[in-house]
Amino acid sequence: MDTGPNAPANRDYDDYLKNFLALPFERILEDFRKRKSIEILNKFKKSEITNILEIGPGLNALSAAIFPKSKKTMLEPSKNLYHLNVSKFESDTTTTILPMDLDKFSKSFATEKFDLVILSGVLHEMSNPRKELITIHSCLKTNGKLFIVTPNNQSIHRLLGVFLGILENTSTLTSTEIMLQQQSNYSLDSLQAFLQELDFKIDIALTNFLKPHTHKQMQTWVDEGVLTEAKLQNLYDLSELFNPYNSEIFVVARKCEL
């Protein structure tokens, strides 16, 4: 794990949501993130995934999109996002949404075990990721899976930032990360090593979406018509050639038998 300086100790979820929704290019990247997540999660045998925990579903709950018949528990500590998801899944009898974080959930529902835990866009926002991942490990059934999506600190745009002297190193928290109250960042190698240290076995590890510049610059190119839908698709399709230097990390890790 790589932890940058100036990471906030406590989160203001209202401020986070306001800044997140105003972030340029994020809605576009979110679409490609969801597409890759669905591609990976659709490889799982649905019959083996009967009980799911999704931490921080935000605006796009993956579990509901991919596992509609499975039992799903979603933890959403943001009051606004909690109410949004309650409204969205009001008639869904397979889904329970709780206004709490993982720490509180683990104390209140300590005996519940899951086939799959989804942690998309959340790990880098956790103040104590080691503690949270140990808790997740204890929540999983034997051979249960953990699905993680998190930004890649070896993304080409960050490497360029170091080369130009904008960032001290690739682990330095950017101004955007600080604004979004993010706590840490990872490379593909550092995240795998971190998970293996905590007794997870890595099943899938890759990066996705080639992003040569910052969110702000990418959005400017979209607005100016330089980055068309076809060219954005090319950046997605080129990901395999640029692993491990794409913008986001996707990992499936498994809790093994002792």
Q: What is the tens place of the pLDDT at every residue in 123-155?
A: 999 989 999 999 999 999 999 999 999 999 999
Average pLDDT of the chain is 92
Q: How many CB atoms lie within 10 A of CB 59?
A: 14
* 205 neighbors 254 (Cβ within 8 angstroms): no
Q: How far apart are CA 185 and CA 205, in angstroms?
A: 16
Strands of the sheet with 248-255, listed across from one edge = 95-98, 71-75, 51-55, 114-120, 140-151, 248-255, 200-208
Q: What is the tens place of the pLDDT at every residue in 19-41?
A: 888 889 999 999 999 999 999 99
Helix intervals (H) in the chain? 13-22, 26-41, 62-66, 79-88, 102-108, 129-139, 156-163, 175-179, 188-197, 215-223, 229-237
Residue 175 has what pLDDT?
81
| pLDDT above 60 (res 2) | no
Domain residue spans in the chain?
13-255
CATH 3.40.50.150 for domain 13-255: yes
Residue 258 has what pLDDT?
62
Query: What is the average pLDDT across 43-59?
Result: 95
